[in-house]
Amino acid sequence: MKKAALHNLGCKVNAYETEAMQQLLEKAGYEIVSFKDRADVYIVNTCSVTNIADKKSRQMLHRARKNNPDAVVVAVGCYVQSAAEELQKDPAVDVILGNNRKKDLAAVLEDCFREKRESFAAVGQIDKEQEYEALEVTGTIRHTRAFVKVQDGCNQFCSYCIIPYTRGRVRSRTPDDTKREVRSLAEAGCQEIVLTGIHLSSYGMDFQEEKKENLLSLIRQLHEIDGIRRIRLGSLEPGIVTEEFAFSLAELPKVCPHFHLSLQSGCDETLKRMNRHYTLKEYAEKCAILRQAYENPAITTDVIVGFPGETGEEFAQTKEFLEQIHFYEMHVFKYSARSGTRAARMPDQVPEEIKTRRSEELLALGRNMSLQYRQGFLGKSLQVLLEESIRTEGMSCLVGHTKEYVRVAVLAEGRKPNTFVDHVPWRMLTEEILF
Has residue 138 been placed in a domain? Answer: no
Helices (H) and strands (E) in the chain, counts: 13, 19
**Is residue 280 situated within a structural domain?**
yes
Report the distance separating Cα 112 and Cα 41, nearest Å.
Answer: 11
- Which of 70, 93, 124 represents a domain boundary (last residue)? 124
Helix axes 352-375, 312-325, angle to 10 degrees: 10
Which residue, of 64, 93, 124, is where some domain finishes? 124
CATH number, domain with residue 78:
3.40.50.12160
Among residues 193, 185, 150, 162, which one has the least CA distance to residue 80? 162
Helix (H) or strand (E) run with residue 315 in it: helix 312-325
> Does some domain include residue 131?
no
Read off the pLDDT of residues 341-372 as tens digits, 9 standing for 90 and up: 999 999 999 999 999 999 999 999 999 999 99
CA 12 to the chain's CA centroid? 3
Any domain includes 139: no
234 in the same domain as 170: yes
382-416 per-position pLDDT tens digit: 899 999 898 877 888 888 899 999 988 888 888 99
Characterize 117-128 residue by residue with b for buried, 16 or more Cβ atoms within 10 angstroms of its Cβ, and e for exposed: eeebbbbbebee
Using alpha carbons only, what angle is made at residue 275 by residues 86 and 328, rounded to the nearest 5 degrees? Answer: 100
pLDDT tens, position by position, 9-21: 999 999 999 999 9
Same domain for 184 and 303? yes
Name 232's bridge partners. Answer: 194
- Judgement on whether residues 342 and 278 belong to the same structural domain of the protein: yes
135 in any annotated domain: no
| CATH number of the domain encompassing residue 338 | 3.80.30.20
Same domain, 18 and 63: yes
Three-class DSSP category at 410: strand
Distance (Å, rounded) from C-alpha 279 to C-alpha 267?
A: 8
Helix (H, G, I), strand (E, B) or coil at 389: strand
Residue 55 is part of which domain span? 3-124
Same domain, 272 and 177: yes
DSSP 208-268: -GGG---HHHHHHHHHTSTT--EEEE--B-GGG--HHHHHHHHT-TTB-SEEEB--B-S-H
Q: Measured between alpha carbons, how far is 121 from 278 in angstroms, rounded to an integer?
A: 40
Are 102 and 165 in a shared domain?
no
Long-range contacts of the stretch 275-283 (C-beta < 8 A, 24+) = 275/156, 275/157, 275/158, 275/159, 275/342, 276/158, 277/156, 277/237, 277/239, 278/237, 278/238, 278/239, 280/321, 282/238, 282/239, 283/238, 283/325
Please say which residue of 375, 394, 412 terminates a domain: 375
Rounded to whole angstroms, the Cα distance separating 144 from 344 reads 40
pTM for the model stands at 0.92
Query: How many domains does the structure of the chain reveal?
Result: 3
Strand order in the sheet with 192-197: 171-172, 145-152, 192-197, 230-233
Same domain? 155 vs 255: yes
Residue 61 and residue 185 in one domain: no
pLDDT tens-place values along the chain, 435 residues long: 999 999 999 999 999 999 999 999 999 999 999 999 999 999 999 999 988 999 999 999 999 999 999 999 999 999 999 999 999 999 999 999 999 999 999 999 998 888 766 677 878 788 888 899 989 898 655 678 999 999 999 999 999 999 999 999 999 999 999 999 999 999 999 999 999 999 999 999 999 887 789 999 999 999 999 999 999 999 999 999 999 999 999 999 999 999 999 999 999 999 999 999 999 999 999 999 999 999 999 999 999 999 999 999 999 999 999 999 999 999 999 999 998 999 999 999 999 999 999 999 999 999 999 999 998 888 788 899 999 898 877 888 888 899 999 988 888 888 999 999 885 555 444 555 555
Q: Is residue 191 located within the same domain as residue 316?
A: yes
d(CA 11, CA 262): 15
What b/e sequence results for 326-337 when a residue is b if at least 16 CB atoms lie within 10 Å of its CB, and e otherwise? Answer: ebbbbebbbbbe
Classify residue 60: in a domain, yes or no.
yes
Domain assignment present for 39: yes
In angstroms, what CA-CA distances link 38 with 41, 73, 304?
Answer: 9, 12, 39
Same domain, 292 and 427: no
For 78, 194, 307, the CA distances from 418, given in Å and listed in that order, are 33, 15, 42
Q: Which amino acid is at 434?
A: L
Which residues are CB-neighbours of 395 under 8 A, at least 6 positions away?
Answer: 411, 412
Give me the residues paired with residue 46 across strands: 77
Please choose, from the candidates 132, 146, 57, the residue with its C-alpha nearest in 3D space to the C-alpha of residue 93: 57
For residues 42 and 183, membership in a common domain is answered with: no
Would 134 be classed as within a structural domain?
no
117 and 231 share a domain?
Answer: no
